[in-house]
Amino acid sequence: MPTFTTSDGTEIYYTDWGTGKPVVLSHGWPLSSDAWAVESKLLADAGYRAIAHDRRGHGRSTNTDRGHDMDTYARDLAELIEHLDLTDLVVIGHSTGGGEVVRYAAQHGTGRVRKVVTAGAVPPIMVRSEANPEGTPIEAFDGIRAGVLADRSQFYKDLAVPFYGFNREGAAVSQGLIDDFQRQGMLAGLAAAYECVKVFSETDFTEDLKALDVPILLAHGSDDQIVPIAAAAEKSIGLVSDGTLKVYEGAPHGIAGEYQKALIADILAFIAD
């Protein structure tokens, strides 16, 4: 299986499918590159080279308790991209991965990145404060940390329900998606899963968004219960210089079903030359 070792000795697993212009995909918490499998396959089928990595401490990458901060995540991504010598690049990120690709593009991607796509992404900042009254209270993130410590296997199964909007009336519940969310979550090391909560909730991406000098597509479900749109994409669009906000009516946080089909079509249209 393809792996790359970062400058601090962390082994990063990645998939590399197809040929053509490169597209790099960054997953959300607590998942892995498996979360992008369908998109990677369809991107490869459409003539792109689709690369998706497991963040440090997640999936099949090194189960380390070190480096769980957004600067390190973005540096890992930069080192992987430099190792593969990728240029004329599109970066795509979901949730935490959306923050990762925004920071990467802003701080490392000059001369390499041509477009950015985020879906249900955490920027500008998730946690509530006086400056961000639309944000999520810190108590919610404390609850996530407590759930990870107490019984993360059951916690992930429970979290998958609002993640995919299965708690909404009339939702077509997929036990398979719930089970796979748990499976991917359990591949993440406990330290990584715990520490990453602070990373995705408290990192401020305001200056990264302002610094972006390439087009960005900000995709977000209107019924995202995990990263509510009012504190996320609706704020980010006002901070970027060349942004397109695409709202998917009634769509949840998790990318699946009709939302997934629509998002893939919009991504392919946005990244086409």
Q: Decide if 79 contacts 4 (C-beta within 8 A).
A: yes
Beta bridge partners of 245: 218
Could you tell me the two tokens for 255?
């990318």
Comparing C-alpha atoms, which of 111, 110, 92 is closest to residue 50?
92
- Is 33 tagged catalytic? no
Beta-ladder partners of 220: 247
Does the annotation mark 7 as catalytic?
no
List the one residue out of 13, 15, 18, 34 whose CA is nearest residue 255: 34
Judge whether 253 counts as a catalytic residue.
Answer: yes
Closest CA to 56 of 153, 226, 206, 199: 199
How are strands ordered across the β-sheet holding 113-119?
3-5, 11-17, 49-53, 22-26, 89-94, 113-119, 216-221, 243-248
What gap in Å lies between CA 186 and CA 189, rounded to an integer?
7
- The one catalytic residue among 95, 208, 220, 236: 95
Query: Rounded to the nearest 10 degrees, what angle do helices 175-187 and 138-163 cross at?
Result: 130
Alpha-carbon dihedral sign for residues 94, 99, 101, 102: positive
Strand stretches in the chain, DSSP E: 3-5, 11-17, 22-26, 49-53, 89-94, 113-119, 216-221, 243-248
Catalytic residue among 58, 68, 220, 253: 253
Q: Which residues are catalytic?
A: 95, 224, 253
